[in-house]
């Protein structure tokens, strides 16, 4: 192997997991990580199977590194009332109720809101000169503003930055192997955000509006109706996921295109490639070596390796998305490739409910970026800063020289 595998927490693997993942797919596609106490699965076929297999539980309370939140807190409620930790019937119940907020009418309404927000932040960048941090001025504020308008949650008067930080802090605690400080920040942010959303939910019951929060409340009928706490927690998760992950997606998309000027030129010549350029970013460089851990609920076999009941398993989506048996020349960034087999949004019944919204938002962000990025724009590499959170490595800024 190019580098002897020890653990996905190795700083070199966090920095760039693909050399090790490429070797593992060939020599040890299902490998035990003793430091994390998990099986790492790297081949596309196996990862796809694991993500869709009902014999695995997504309940993070079953993992070996789970630390229970303070009883009675919203952080504790999260582990009782959200889809990302639920299995089987409970997951189907919540997904059915939440789908009411993603009807064709709701999606059309979302597109109008997304385009309006992107224009709000893209317009001031047209004609700019010098070095501009596109995280601060573009990719960071847009997702939170979008999810706020879609859900019907206006930012605190005069405190938009605080609202954005709450959403991003909440999601940090769920990054695989996040440290104690990020978990603490996440739980504190969840308390503040949940209390506020609860008050707004009470208002929507009295005066519904044309937004996702009202849709969930009004459509919450029948024997599968969600409790108030369940509704609040689902919205908290939507706000958090709609903030951090879309910011990362927009940042990586622009970064990769600037690092591959031939692909940027191809996109400028054929804007119809926008959606595929976004999907290629999600395939090529999104996420770390591991993923959210799953728990085997019975003895089973993956790739010829026996997994025992109670074992923790991570399907490496980053590895699956560069599997050479599925994608030709997988280490090349190519916005024209067939991206139908990417696993970034999951597989099976747990496929991401907000995938279409995320893609729509990233499409609009890229279209907006193409309007303000001058032909000679370049990434200022020596000013680009990164931070690591557990298995994730994310750019803190995106300095671009507009000329």
Q: Domains along the chain?
A: 11-401 (1.10.630.10)
Q: What pLDDT score does 367 carry?
A: 97
Handedness of CA 353, 46, 19, 32 (dihedral sign): positive
Token readout for 150 is 């879609």
pLDDT tens sequence across 161-220? 677 777 778 877 666 566 778 778 888 888 888 888 888 888 888 898 888 788 777 776
Per this entry, what is the length of the chain? 403
Longest dimension (CA), the chain: 63
What are the backbone dihedrals phi and psi of residue 291, each rounded to the nearest 5 degrees, phi first? -155, -175
pTM for this prediction: 0.86
Distances (CA, A) of 230 to 92, 150, 181, 286, 321: 14, 19, 26, 30, 33
pLDDT tens sequence across 259-305? 999 999 999 999 999 999 999 999 999 988 988 889 999 999 999 99
pLDDT tens sequence across 94-140? 666 677 666 666 667 788 889 999 999 999 999 999 999 999 999 99
Rounded distance between C-alpha atoms, residue 379 and residue 209, angstroms? 42
Look at residue 27 and tell me whether its pLDDT is greater than 70.
yes
Rounded distance between C-alpha atoms, residue 114 and residue 75, angstroms? 29
**In the chain, % of residues over pLDDT 90:** 51
| Coarse DSSP helix, strand, coil percentages of the chain, rounded to the nearest 5 percent | 55, 10, 35
From the list 165, 353, 170, 358, the residue with the least C-alpha distance to 252 is: 358
Give 246-269 as a DSSP string: HHHHHHHHHHHHHH-HHHHHHHHH
């Amino acid at each position: 192997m190019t580098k002897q595998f020890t653990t996905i927490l190795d700083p070199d693997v966090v920095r760039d997991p693909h050399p090790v993942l490429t070797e593992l797919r060939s020599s040890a596609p299902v490998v035990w990580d003793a430091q994390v106490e998990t099986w790492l699965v790297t081949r596309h076929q196996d990862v796809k199977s694991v993500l869709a297999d009902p014999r695995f539980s997504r309940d993070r309370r079953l993992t070996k590194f789970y630390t229970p939140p303070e009883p009675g807190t919203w952080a504790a409620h999260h582990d009782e009332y959200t889809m990302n930790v639920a299995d089987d019937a409970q997951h189907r119940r919540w997904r059915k109720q939440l789908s009411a907020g993603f009807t064709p009418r709701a999606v059309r309404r979302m597109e109008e809101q997304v385009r309006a927000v992107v224009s709000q932040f893209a317009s001031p960048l047209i004609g700019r000169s010098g070095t501009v941090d596109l995280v601060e001025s573009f990719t960071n504020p847009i997702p939170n503003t979008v999810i706020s308008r879609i859900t019907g949650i206006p930012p605190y008067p005069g405190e938009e930055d605080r609202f954005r930080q709450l959403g991003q802090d909440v999601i940090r605690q769920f990054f695989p192997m996040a440290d104690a400080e990020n978990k603490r920040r996440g739980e504190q942010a969840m308390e503040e955000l949940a209390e506020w959303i609860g008050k707004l939910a009470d208002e929507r019951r009295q005066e519904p509006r044309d937004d996702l929060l009202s849709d969930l409340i009004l459509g919450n009928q029948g024997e599968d109706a969600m409790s108030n706490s369940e509704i609040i927690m689902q919205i908290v998760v939507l706000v958090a996921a709609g903030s951090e992950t879309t910011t990362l997606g927009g940042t990586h998309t622009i970064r990769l295109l600037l690092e591959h000027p031939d692909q940027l030129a191809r996109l400028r010549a054929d804007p119809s490639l926008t959606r595929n350029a976004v999907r290629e970013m999600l395939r090529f460089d999104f996420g770390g070596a591991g993923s959210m851990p799953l728990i085997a609920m019975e003895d089973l076999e993956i790739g010829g390796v026996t997994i025992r009941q109670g074992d923790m398993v991570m399907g490496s989506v980053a590895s699956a998305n560069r599997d050479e048996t599925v994608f030709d020349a997988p280490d090349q960034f190519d916005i024209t490739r067939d991206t139908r087999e990417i696993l970034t949004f999951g597989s099976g019944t747990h496929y991401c409910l907000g995938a279409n919204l995320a893609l729509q938002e990233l499409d609009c962000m890229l279209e907006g970026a193409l309007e303000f990025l001058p032909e000679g724009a370049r990434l200022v590499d020596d000013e680009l800063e990164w931070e690591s959170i557990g298995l994730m490595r994310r750019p803190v800024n995106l300095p671009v020289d507009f000329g």
